[in-house]
Amino acid sequence: MDHFTLRDGVLHAEDVPLPRIAEEVGTPVYVYSRATLERHARVFTEALADIPSKLIAFAVKSNPNLAVLKVLQRAGFGADVVSGGELRRALAAGMPPEKIVFSGVGKTRAELELGLAEGIGQFNIESREEGRELAELAASLGQRARACLRINPDVDAKTHEKISTGKAENKFGIPLVHAREAYDELAALDGLDLRGVAVHIGSQLGDLEPLETAFAKVGALVDDLRAAGHEVTHVDLGGGLGVPYKAGEQFPSPAEYGAMVARVTRDWGVHLTFEPGRVIAGNAGVLLTRVVRVKRGGNGPPFVIVDAAMNDLARPALYGAWHDFDAVAPSGERMTANIVGPICETGDTFAQDRECDALQSGELAVFRTAGAYGATMASSYNSRGFVAETLVDGDRYAVVADRIDAGAIMDAERVPDWLA
Ligand SMILES: Cc1ncc(COP(=O)(O)O)c(C=O)c1O
Ligand SMILES: N[C@@H](CCCC[NH3+])C(=O)O
Protein backbone atom coordinates (compact mmCIF):
# COMPACT_ATOMS: atom_id res chain seq x y z
CA MET A 1 0.00 0.00 0.00
CA ASP A 2 1.21 3.45 -0.79
CA HIS A 3 0.05 7.00 -0.25
CA PHE A 4 -0.40 7.86 -3.94
CA THR A 5 -4.14 8.05 -4.41
CA LEU A 6 -6.73 9.67 -6.65
CA ARG A 7 -8.68 12.43 -4.96
CA ASP A 8 -11.15 14.72 -6.76
CA GLY A 9 -9.98 13.18 -10.01
CA VAL A 10 -6.31 14.07 -9.46
CA LEU A 11 -3.48 11.88 -8.23
CA HIS A 12 -2.07 13.03 -4.91
CA ALA A 13 1.03 12.10 -2.98
CA GLU A 14 -0.38 12.14 0.55
CA ASP A 15 -2.16 15.54 0.55
CA VAL A 16 -0.18 17.16 -2.22
CA PRO A 17 -1.71 17.17 -5.71
CA LEU A 18 0.94 16.06 -8.16
CA PRO A 19 0.21 18.88 -10.66
CA ARG A 20 1.45 21.28 -7.98
CA ILE A 21 4.86 19.59 -7.87
CA ALA A 22 5.02 19.38 -11.66
CA GLU A 23 4.21 23.09 -11.90
CA GLU A 24 6.65 24.24 -9.24
CA VAL A 25 9.58 21.87 -9.75
CA GLY A 26 9.18 20.83 -13.37
CA THR A 27 9.22 17.35 -14.84
CA PRO A 28 10.49 14.70 -14.84
CA VAL A 29 10.73 14.53 -11.07
CA TYR A 30 10.71 11.76 -8.50
CA VAL A 31 8.12 12.10 -5.74
CA TYR A 32 8.59 10.14 -2.51
CA SER A 33 6.09 9.80 0.32
CA ARG A 34 7.43 10.09 3.84
CA ALA A 35 4.33 8.39 5.26
CA THR A 36 4.82 5.38 2.98
CA LEU A 37 8.50 5.07 3.89
CA GLU A 38 7.61 5.24 7.56
CA ARG A 39 4.82 2.73 7.24
CA HIS A 40 7.03 0.29 5.35
CA ALA A 41 9.73 0.68 7.99
CA ARG A 42 7.18 0.02 10.72
CA VAL A 43 5.63 -2.99 8.98
CA PHE A 44 9.04 -4.53 8.34
CA THR A 45 10.13 -3.93 11.93
CA GLU A 46 6.90 -5.40 13.30
CA ALA A 47 7.29 -8.43 11.04
CA LEU A 48 10.55 -9.17 12.86
CA ALA A 49 9.14 -8.66 16.35
CA ASP A 50 9.91 -12.29 17.23
CA ILE A 51 13.61 -11.88 16.43
CA PRO A 52 15.20 -11.07 19.78
CA SER A 53 18.43 -9.40 18.64
CA LYS A 54 18.59 -7.66 15.28
CA LEU A 55 19.65 -4.76 13.10
CA ILE A 56 17.67 -3.57 10.10
CA ALA A 57 20.16 -1.96 7.74
CA PHE A 58 18.49 -0.21 4.80
CA ALA A 59 20.14 -1.09 1.47
CA VAL A 60 21.29 2.41 0.55
CA LYS A 61 21.81 1.45 -3.10
CA SER A 62 18.04 1.24 -3.52
CA ASN A 63 17.54 4.90 -2.64
CA PRO A 64 20.52 6.88 -1.37
CA ASN A 65 18.75 10.25 -1.18
CA LEU A 66 19.81 11.95 2.06
CA ALA A 67 16.27 12.86 3.07
CA VAL A 68 15.08 9.29 2.50
CA LEU A 69 17.98 8.00 4.59
CA LYS A 70 17.09 10.50 7.31
CA VAL A 71 13.49 9.22 7.45
CA LEU A 72 14.79 5.68 7.89
CA GLN A 73 17.46 6.69 10.39
CA ARG A 74 14.69 8.22 12.50
CA ALA A 75 12.79 4.93 12.19
CA GLY A 76 15.76 3.21 13.83
CA PHE A 77 17.29 1.69 10.70
CA GLY A 78 20.99 1.38 10.06
CA ALA A 79 22.50 1.16 6.59
CA ASP A 80 23.87 -1.49 4.26
CA VAL A 81 26.40 0.29 2.04
CA VAL A 82 28.41 -0.91 -0.94
CA SER A 83 30.80 1.99 -1.57
CA GLY A 84 32.65 4.79 0.15
CA GLY A 85 30.09 7.18 -1.28
CA GLU A 86 27.17 5.29 0.26
CA LEU A 87 29.07 5.07 3.55
CA ARG A 88 29.47 8.86 3.59
CA ARG A 89 25.79 9.31 2.83
CA ALA A 90 24.74 7.00 5.66
CA LEU A 91 26.93 8.93 8.08
CA ALA A 92 25.67 12.26 6.75
CA ALA A 93 22.12 11.09 7.40
CA GLY A 94 23.06 10.44 11.01
CA MET A 95 23.26 6.66 10.92
CA PRO A 96 25.49 5.60 13.82
CA PRO A 97 28.66 3.88 12.51
CA GLU A 98 27.90 0.75 14.52
CA LYS A 99 24.66 0.37 12.55
CA ILE A 100 26.50 0.41 9.21
CA VAL A 101 27.28 -2.80 7.32
CA PHE A 102 29.67 -2.67 4.38
CA SER A 103 28.87 -5.20 1.62
CA GLY A 104 30.30 -5.58 -1.87
CA VAL A 105 32.66 -7.79 -3.80
CA GLY A 106 35.13 -5.09 -4.82
CA LYS A 107 35.74 -2.82 -1.84
CA THR A 108 38.95 -0.92 -2.54
CA ARG A 109 41.74 -0.44 -0.03
CA ALA A 110 40.65 3.18 0.38
CA GLU A 111 37.07 2.07 1.09
CA LEU A 112 38.21 -0.50 3.65
CA GLU A 113 40.30 2.23 5.29
CA LEU A 114 37.33 4.58 5.36
CA GLY A 115 35.18 1.91 7.01
CA LEU A 116 37.85 1.30 9.64
CA ALA A 117 38.42 4.99 10.25
CA GLU A 118 34.68 5.49 10.80
CA GLY A 119 34.43 2.44 13.06
CA ILE A 120 31.56 0.79 11.19
CA GLY A 121 29.71 -2.12 12.74
CA GLN A 122 30.42 -4.84 10.20
CA PHE A 123 32.31 -5.65 7.02
CA ASN A 124 30.83 -8.44 4.94
CA ILE A 125 33.91 -10.07 3.47
CA GLU A 126 33.42 -11.67 0.07
CA SER A 127 36.77 -13.41 -0.47
CA ARG A 128 39.79 -14.65 1.41
CA GLU A 129 41.85 -12.02 -0.38
CA GLU A 130 39.62 -9.24 0.90
CA GLY A 131 39.68 -10.72 4.40
CA ARG A 132 43.47 -10.77 4.47
CA GLU A 133 43.69 -7.20 3.21
CA LEU A 134 41.17 -5.95 5.75
CA ALA A 135 42.93 -7.82 8.57
CA GLU A 136 46.28 -6.36 7.62
CA LEU A 137 44.90 -2.81 7.41
CA ALA A 138 43.07 -3.12 10.71
CA ALA A 139 46.09 -4.62 12.47
CA SER A 140 48.30 -1.78 11.22
CA LEU A 141 45.85 0.61 12.92
CA GLY A 142 45.79 -1.46 16.08
CA GLN A 143 42.17 -2.46 15.38
CA ARG A 144 40.17 -5.64 14.94
CA ALA A 145 37.63 -5.26 12.15
CA ARG A 146 34.22 -6.70 12.98
CA ALA A 147 33.29 -8.92 10.07
CA CYS A 148 31.09 -11.64 8.65
CA LEU A 149 32.01 -13.98 5.82
CA ARG A 150 29.55 -13.77 2.93
CA ILE A 151 28.85 -17.17 1.53
CA ASN A 152 27.44 -18.15 -1.84
CA PRO A 153 24.87 -20.87 -1.15
CA ASP A 154 24.32 -21.80 -4.83
CA VAL A 155 20.57 -21.28 -4.68
CA ASP A 156 18.48 -20.08 -7.59
CA ALA A 157 16.51 -17.08 -6.32
CA LYS A 158 14.14 -17.35 -9.31
CA THR A 159 14.45 -13.70 -10.19
CA HIS A 160 15.86 -11.78 -13.16
CA GLU A 161 19.30 -13.18 -14.00
CA LYS A 162 20.92 -9.75 -13.72
CA ILE A 163 19.88 -9.35 -10.10
CA SER A 164 20.43 -12.90 -8.92
CA THR A 165 23.44 -13.10 -6.60
CA GLY A 166 23.43 -16.51 -4.92
CA LYS A 167 24.17 -18.98 -7.70
CA ALA A 168 27.58 -20.62 -7.93
CA GLU A 169 28.35 -18.80 -11.17
CA ASN A 170 27.63 -15.37 -9.63
CA LYS A 171 30.58 -13.30 -8.42
CA PHE A 172 29.28 -12.91 -4.88
CA GLY A 173 30.44 -14.58 -1.68
CA ILE A 174 32.57 -17.62 -0.95
CA PRO A 175 31.27 -20.94 -2.28
CA LEU A 176 29.77 -22.94 0.53
CA VAL A 177 32.20 -25.80 -0.07
CA HIS A 178 35.13 -23.49 0.66
CA ALA A 179 33.51 -21.61 3.53
CA ARG A 180 34.90 -23.72 6.40
CA GLU A 181 38.44 -23.45 5.13
CA ALA A 182 38.16 -19.71 4.52
CA TYR A 183 36.59 -19.17 7.92
CA ASP A 184 39.36 -21.15 9.66
CA GLU A 185 42.00 -19.02 7.98
CA LEU A 186 40.37 -15.61 8.49
CA ALA A 187 39.20 -16.22 12.06
CA ALA A 188 42.82 -16.76 13.05
CA LEU A 189 43.95 -13.32 11.85
CA ASP A 190 44.70 -10.72 14.53
CA GLY A 191 43.14 -7.85 12.59
CA LEU A 192 39.75 -9.53 12.24
CA ASP A 193 36.95 -10.13 14.69
CA LEU A 194 35.16 -12.67 12.51
CA ARG A 195 31.76 -13.10 14.11
CA GLY A 196 29.63 -14.99 11.64
CA VAL A 197 28.30 -15.32 8.13
CA ALA A 198 26.28 -13.31 5.63
CA VAL A 199 24.11 -14.30 2.68
CA HIS A 200 22.11 -12.45 0.00
CA ILE A 201 20.80 -14.43 -2.95
CA GLY A 202 19.18 -11.74 -5.08
CA SER A 203 16.60 -9.02 -5.39
CA GLN A 204 12.88 -8.81 -6.26
CA LEU A 205 12.19 -12.32 -4.92
CA GLY A 206 8.61 -13.43 -5.31
CA ASP A 207 8.97 -16.69 -3.47
CA LEU A 208 10.21 -17.36 0.06
CA GLU A 209 11.30 -20.90 -0.74
CA PRO A 210 14.77 -20.05 -2.19
CA LEU A 211 15.42 -17.77 0.78
CA GLU A 212 14.46 -20.52 3.19
CA THR A 213 16.73 -22.98 1.35
CA ALA A 214 19.63 -20.52 1.53
CA PHE A 215 19.00 -19.79 5.22
CA ALA A 216 18.90 -23.50 6.00
CA LYS A 217 22.32 -23.87 4.38
CA VAL A 218 23.59 -20.98 6.50
CA GLY A 219 22.19 -22.68 9.61
CA ALA A 220 24.04 -25.90 8.77
CA LEU A 221 27.24 -23.92 8.23
CA VAL A 222 26.84 -22.20 11.60
CA ASP A 223 26.57 -25.66 13.22
CA ASP A 224 29.70 -26.81 11.38
CA LEU A 225 31.66 -23.72 12.38
CA ARG A 226 30.65 -24.10 16.00
CA ALA A 227 31.55 -27.78 15.95
CA ALA A 228 34.97 -26.71 14.69
CA GLY A 229 35.37 -24.44 17.71
CA HIS A 230 34.38 -21.08 16.24
CA GLU A 231 32.24 -18.66 18.16
CA VAL A 232 29.44 -17.56 15.82
CA THR A 233 27.40 -14.66 17.15
CA HIS A 234 26.17 -12.85 14.04
CA VAL A 235 24.33 -13.79 10.85
CA ASP A 236 23.39 -11.32 8.10
CA LEU A 237 20.41 -12.52 6.04
CA GLY A 238 20.65 -9.79 3.37
CA GLY A 239 17.61 -8.31 1.62
CA GLY A 240 15.75 -9.31 -1.48
CA LEU A 241 12.04 -9.34 -0.65
CA GLY A 242 10.15 -8.39 -3.80
CA VAL A 243 7.26 -5.97 -4.30
CA PRO A 244 4.34 -5.87 -6.74
CA TYR A 245 4.98 -3.71 -9.79
CA LYS A 246 1.62 -4.51 -11.41
CA ALA A 247 -1.63 -3.76 -9.67
CA GLY A 248 -2.99 -7.04 -8.32
CA GLU A 249 0.31 -8.95 -8.25
CA GLN A 250 0.81 -11.05 -5.13
CA PHE A 251 4.09 -11.11 -3.20
CA PRO A 252 5.03 -12.63 0.14
CA SER A 253 4.33 -10.08 2.86
CA PRO A 254 6.94 -8.90 5.36
CA ALA A 255 4.91 -10.78 8.01
CA GLU A 256 5.24 -14.05 6.07
CA TYR A 257 8.93 -13.39 5.58
CA GLY A 258 9.35 -12.59 9.29
CA ALA A 259 7.52 -15.76 10.33
CA MET A 260 9.74 -17.87 8.05
CA VAL A 261 12.90 -16.24 9.39
CA ALA A 262 11.78 -16.69 13.00
CA ARG A 263 11.04 -20.37 12.37
CA VAL A 264 14.29 -21.14 10.51
CA THR A 265 16.58 -19.23 12.87
CA ARG A 266 14.88 -20.10 16.16
CA ASP A 267 17.76 -22.15 17.54
CA TRP A 268 20.64 -20.21 16.07
CA GLY A 269 21.21 -17.97 19.09
CA VAL A 270 22.72 -15.15 17.03
CA HIS A 271 22.22 -11.46 16.34
CA LEU A 272 20.53 -11.13 12.93
CA THR A 273 21.07 -8.37 10.37
CA PHE A 274 18.58 -7.61 7.60
CA GLU A 275 19.31 -5.51 4.51
CA PRO A 276 15.96 -4.61 2.93
CA GLY A 277 15.92 -2.05 0.12
CA ARG A 278 13.13 -2.36 -2.42
CA VAL A 279 10.46 -3.50 0.05
CA ILE A 280 10.98 -0.27 1.99
CA ALA A 281 11.46 2.26 -0.81
CA GLY A 282 9.92 0.76 -3.97
CA ASN A 283 6.29 1.68 -3.51
CA ALA A 284 7.19 4.89 -1.68
CA GLY A 285 7.97 6.73 -4.89
CA VAL A 286 6.72 7.59 -8.36
CA LEU A 287 8.37 9.24 -11.33
CA LEU A 288 6.20 12.15 -12.42
CA THR A 289 6.44 12.97 -16.10
CA ARG A 290 4.70 15.07 -18.73
CA VAL A 291 3.63 13.91 -22.16
CA VAL A 292 5.66 15.80 -24.76
CA ARG A 293 3.49 14.64 -27.61
CA VAL A 294 1.59 11.68 -28.92
CA LYS A 295 2.80 10.42 -32.25
CA ARG A 296 1.03 8.09 -34.62
CA GLY A 297 2.64 4.66 -34.84
CA GLY A 298 3.87 2.97 -38.03
CA ASN A 299 2.12 -0.35 -37.94
CA GLY A 300 1.47 -0.43 -34.20
CA PRO A 301 -0.13 1.67 -31.52
CA PRO A 302 0.65 5.37 -31.07
CA PHE A 303 3.80 6.48 -29.29
CA VAL A 304 3.17 8.40 -26.09
CA ILE A 305 6.44 10.35 -25.82
CA VAL A 306 7.06 11.47 -22.25
CA ASP A 307 9.72 13.82 -20.92
CA ALA A 308 11.23 11.10 -18.69
CA ALA A 309 13.64 8.69 -20.31
CA MET A 310 15.77 5.63 -19.71
CA ASN A 311 18.42 7.86 -18.14
CA ASP A 312 15.92 8.82 -15.40
CA LEU A 313 14.42 5.35 -14.87
CA ALA A 314 16.63 2.63 -16.27
CA ARG A 315 14.79 -0.49 -15.08
CA PRO A 316 12.56 -1.05 -18.14
CA ALA A 317 15.47 -0.66 -20.55
CA LEU A 318 17.86 -2.68 -18.40
CA TYR A 319 15.69 -5.54 -17.20
CA GLY A 320 12.55 -5.26 -19.30
CA ALA A 321 10.90 -4.27 -16.00
CA TRP A 322 7.24 -3.32 -15.78
CA HIS A 323 6.16 -0.08 -14.07
CA ASP A 324 2.47 0.74 -13.93
CA PHE A 325 1.82 3.94 -15.87
CA ASP A 326 -1.17 6.10 -14.92
CA ALA A 327 -2.50 9.51 -15.85
CA VAL A 328 -2.42 12.08 -13.05
CA ALA A 329 -5.90 13.28 -14.04
CA PRO A 330 -7.48 10.28 -15.77
CA SER A 331 -10.43 11.02 -18.02
CA GLY A 332 -11.76 7.49 -17.76
CA GLU A 333 -10.87 6.77 -21.37
CA ARG A 334 -8.26 4.18 -22.19
CA MET A 335 -5.77 3.68 -24.99
CA THR A 336 -3.15 1.20 -26.09
CA ALA A 337 0.23 2.83 -26.55
CA ASN A 338 3.97 2.45 -26.76
CA ILE A 339 5.30 4.61 -23.95
CA VAL A 340 8.70 5.99 -24.82
CA GLY A 341 11.19 8.65 -23.80
CA PRO A 342 13.04 11.15 -26.00
CA ILE A 343 16.42 9.37 -26.02
CA CYS A 344 17.94 8.34 -29.29
CA GLU A 345 17.69 4.62 -29.00
CA THR A 346 14.85 2.18 -29.29
CA GLY A 347 15.76 0.80 -25.87
CA ASP A 348 14.31 4.01 -24.44
CA THR A 349 10.94 2.31 -24.21
CA PHE A 350 9.02 2.10 -20.94
CA ALA A 351 6.22 -0.09 -22.23
CA GLN A 352 5.04 -1.62 -25.46
CA ASP A 353 1.46 -2.21 -26.44
CA ARG A 354 0.42 -1.06 -22.99
CA GLU A 355 -3.21 -0.53 -22.19
CA CYS A 356 -3.25 2.68 -20.15
CA ASP A 357 -5.16 5.87 -19.44
CA ALA A 358 -5.74 7.92 -22.58
CA LEU A 359 -3.19 10.74 -22.66
CA GLN A 360 -2.59 13.81 -24.73
CA SER A 361 0.26 16.20 -25.22
CA GLY A 362 0.93 18.28 -22.08
CA GLU A 363 -0.80 15.91 -19.66
CA LEU A 364 0.89 14.46 -16.60
CA ALA A 365 1.43 10.81 -15.78
CA VAL A 366 3.37 8.69 -13.33
CA PHE A 367 5.48 5.59 -13.43
CA ARG A 368 4.67 3.83 -10.19
CA THR A 369 6.89 1.85 -7.85
CA ALA A 370 9.87 3.99 -8.72
CA GLY A 371 11.13 4.72 -5.21
CA ALA A 372 13.78 1.99 -5.34
CA TYR A 373 16.42 1.66 -8.04
CA GLY A 374 15.00 4.74 -9.75
CA ALA A 375 16.85 8.05 -9.33
CA THR A 376 19.85 6.19 -7.95
CA MET A 377 20.42 4.51 -11.33
CA ALA A 378 20.01 7.72 -13.33
CA SER A 379 22.64 8.87 -15.79
CA SER A 380 23.12 12.00 -17.88
CA TYR A 381 22.93 10.15 -21.18
CA ASN A 382 22.01 12.38 -24.11
CA SER A 383 23.17 15.29 -21.87
CA ARG A 384 19.79 15.30 -20.21
CA GLY A 385 21.13 16.12 -16.76
CA PHE A 386 20.09 14.46 -13.52
CA VAL A 387 16.48 14.20 -12.49
CA ALA A 388 15.16 16.10 -9.42
CA GLU A 389 13.68 14.40 -6.36
CA THR A 390 11.03 15.57 -3.90
CA LEU A 391 9.73 14.27 -0.58
CA VAL A 392 6.11 14.79 0.45
CA ASP A 393 5.08 15.04 4.08
CA GLY A 394 1.33 15.51 4.56
CA ASP A 395 0.35 18.68 2.73
CA ARG A 396 3.88 19.94 2.21
CA TYR A 397 6.80 18.81 0.14
CA ALA A 398 10.47 19.64 -0.30
CA VAL A 399 12.89 19.34 -3.18
CA VAL A 400 15.37 16.83 -1.76
CA ALA A 401 17.64 16.67 -4.81
CA ASP A 402 17.99 19.51 -7.30
CA ARG A 403 17.83 18.82 -10.98
CA ILE A 404 21.39 19.02 -12.27
CA ASP A 405 21.14 20.31 -15.77
CA ALA A 406 23.45 19.51 -18.65
CA GLY A 407 25.21 22.86 -18.25
CA ALA A 408 26.21 22.16 -14.65
CA ILE A 409 27.57 18.79 -15.65
CA MET A 410 29.48 20.44 -18.48
CA ASP A 411 31.04 22.82 -15.91
CA ALA A 412 32.89 19.82 -14.48
CA GLU A 413 34.55 19.13 -17.84
CA ARG A 414 37.36 20.90 -19.60
CA VAL A 415 39.26 20.92 -22.87
CA PRO A 416 42.98 20.67 -22.06
CA ASP A 417 45.23 23.59 -23.13
CA TRP A 418 47.01 21.36 -25.61
CA LEU A 419 43.76 20.77 -27.44
CA ALA A 420 42.29 24.25 -27.31
C1 LIG B 1 24.23 -7.35 -0.38
C2 LIG B 1 22.89 -6.79 -0.66
N3 LIG B 1 22.08 -6.49 0.37
C4 LIG B 1 20.86 -5.97 0.17
C5 LIG B 1 20.36 -5.73 -1.09
C6 LIG B 1 19.00 -5.14 -1.21
O7 LIG B 1 18.16 -5.91 -1.91
P8 LIG B 1 16.61 -5.55 -2.03
O9 LIG B 1 16.50 -4.15 -2.52
O10 LIG B 1 16.15 -6.53 -3.02
O11 LIG B 1 16.01 -5.74 -0.69
C12 LIG B 1 21.14 -6.05 -2.20
C13 LIG B 1 20.62 -5.92 -3.58
O14 LIG B 1 20.17 -6.93 -4.13
C15 LIG B 1 22.45 -6.57 -1.98
O16 LIG B 1 23.24 -6.84 -3.00
N1 LIG C 1 18.96 -2.52 -9.80
C2 LIG C 1 18.11 -3.66 -9.61
C3 LIG C 1 18.25 -4.26 -8.25
C4 LIG C 1 19.65 -4.64 -7.94
C5 LIG C 1 19.84 -5.08 -6.56
C6 LIG C 1 21.27 -4.88 -6.20
N7 LIG C 1 21.79 -5.78 -5.23
C8 LIG C 1 16.68 -3.30 -9.94
O9 LIG C 1 16.41 -2.22 -10.35
O10 LIG C 1 15.79 -4.11 -9.85
Question: Does residue 60 sit within a domain?
Answer: no
269 and 131 together in one domain: yes
Question: Does residue 98 sit within a domain?
Answer: no
φ/ψ bin of 384: left (φ > 0), alpha (ψ from -120 to 50), beta (otherwise): alpha
By residue range, what is the domain housing residue 211?
104-274
Among 255, 274, 293, give the residue marking a domain's end: 274
113 labeled part of a ligand binding site: no
Average pLDDT over residues 126-144: 97
φ/ψ bin of 301: left (φ > 0), alpha (ψ from -120 to 50), beta (otherwise): beta
Atom of ligand 1 nearest to the CA of 278: 9
Question: Does residue 173 sit within a domain?
Answer: yes
* Ligand 2 centroid – CA 282 distance (Å): 11
253 and 221 together in one domain: yes
> Residue with the nearest Cα to atom 9 of ligand 2?
373
34 labeled part of a ligand binding site: no
230 and 114 together in one domain: yes
Question: Does residue 38 sit within a domain?
Answer: no
152 and 263 together in one domain: yes
127 and 229 together in one domain: yes
Q: What is the CA radius of gyration of the chain?
A: 23
Query: How do residues 222-256 score in pLDDT, each as one tens digit?
Result: 999 999 999 999 999 999 999 999 988 999 999 99
Query: How do residues 263-297 score in pLDDT, each as one tens digit?
Result: 999 999 999 999 999 999 999 999 999 999 999 99
Average pLDDT over residues 147-153: 97
Give residue 383's pLDDT band: very low, low, confident or very high (50, 70, 90).
very high
CATH number, residue 186: 3.20.20.10
Average pLDDT over residues 201-211: 96
Q: What is the largest CA-CA distance in the chain?
A: 71
194 and 136 together in one domain: yes
122 and 155 together in one domain: yes
pLDDT of residue 202: 95
74 labeled part of a ligand binding site: no
Question: Does residue 51 sit within a domain?
Answer: no
pLDDT of residue 2: 87
pLDDT of residue 389: 98
* Whole-angstrom distance, CA of residue 308 vs CA of residue 313: 8
Domain tally, the chain: 2
Q: Which residues are tagged catalytic?
A: 344
Question: Does residue 49 sit within a domain?
Answer: no
* Ligand 2 centroid – CA 268 distance (Å): 29
Query: What residues form DSSP beta bridges with 273?
Result: 55, 236
Give residue 19's pLDDT band: very low, low, confident or very high (50, 70, 90).
very high
197 and 150 together in one domain: yes
Question: Does residue 43 sit within a domain?
Answer: no
| Mean of all residue pLDDT scores within the chain | 97
pLDDT of residue 369: 98
Per-residue pLDDT at 1 exceeds 80: no
335 and 199 together in one domain: no
Among 274, 294, 324, give the residue marking a domain's end: 274
CATH number, residue 401: 2.40.37.10
Query: Counting every residue, how long is the chain?
Result: 420
Question: Does residue 239 sit within a domain?
Answer: yes
Average pLDDT over residues 349-363: 98
* Whole-angstrom distance, CA of residue 143 vs CA of residue 137: 8
* Ligand 1 centroid – CA 71 distance (Å): 19
